[in-house]
Chains A and B, each alone.
Chain A
Amino acid sequence: MIWIIGIGGSLGAVTRFILGNLISNKSQKLFPFPLGTWIINITGSFLLGLIAQLHLTNQISEWLWLLWGVGFCGAYTTFSTFGNETITLIQSNKVKLAIIYVISSIIVGVASATIGLNI
């Protein structure tokens, strides 16, 4: 069963890679905000909330939860890049932007997960 999580993880990682590059290539020229990771973490939080709800109410089977919930959503979103982007902002003296990045990621991320869980 563990390889199902791996397959979900590889799909999640490559989706993050493609989407992150697409968004960053366009947005970085306009302003130095890590918009790619921001959008990825918010949409992934919503999606995991939704899948978790379907799993908790037994509407999807265990392997679908492992594939799309644990594997895909878990790998699509990332905390390590989020943390390191924040440090990069702080080290380039963009402290205000770093604070906005952290607080908005958490508030909007948790709110999106809540919507997904209760939709």
Chain B
Amino acid sequence: MKRKVIKVNFLSVMIGGFFGAISRFALGEWLHTENGFPLGTFIINLIGCFALGWFLTYVNQKKKIKTEFTLIIGTGFIGSYTTFSTFSVETINLFQQGLVFFGTTYVLATIILGLLLAYLGRKLALSKEKVGDVI
């Protein structure tokens, strides 16, 4: 029985990961810029921070949501949609090309806005719940 649960969990994460990676690639290609600033990864990571903050808080409040659902959407899809490795490689590329201003802006803006959006995502999920309680 336990083995079956582990199999379902792995499969859930893999299904989410499949679509998360494809979405990242598709949006990244679409947001490609000519000036060298990695706008694609920047936007992708910001959206993902907000989405995960909202999703995890929302799921936490609903007792009835199945684990597989959290694994497909949270760990699988949003986890694979956002990326840290591309962020690292793009940062060093900017500095090695002498684009110091872009490199610094990229790191600081991703961190500051990413954390802010993760926080706002959580806030939104909590405020929705409060409105629901009143009604």
Bound CA–CA A70/B26 (angstroms)? 11
Q: How many A-B residue pairs have CB under 8 A?
A: 173
Query: What A residues does B124 contact at CB under 8 A?
Result: none
Asked if B21 is at the interface of the complex by the 8 Å CB criterion, the answer is yes
Name the one of A3, A14, A78 contacting B83, with C-beta atoms under 8 angstroms.
A78
Asked if A34 is at the interface of the complex by the 8 Å CB criterion, the answer is no
Residue count of chain A within 8 Å CB distance of chain B = 47
Residue count of chain B within 8 Å CB distance of chain A = 48
Query: What A residues does B118 contact at CB under 8 A?
Result: 80, 83-84, 86-87
Main secondary structure of the interface of A (DSSP, over half): helix
Query: B88 near A110 (CB under 8 angstroms)?
Result: yes
User: Which of B30-38, B43-51, B61-69, B127-135 has 4 or more CB atoms under 8 Å from chain A?
Assistant: B43-51
Asked if A76 is at the interface of the complex by the 8 Å CB criterion, the answer is yes
Q: Which residues of A line the B interface, CB within 8 A? A: 2-3, 5-14, 16-18, 41, 44-45, 47-49, 52, 70-71, 73-84, 86-87, 102, 105-106, 109-110, 112-114, 117
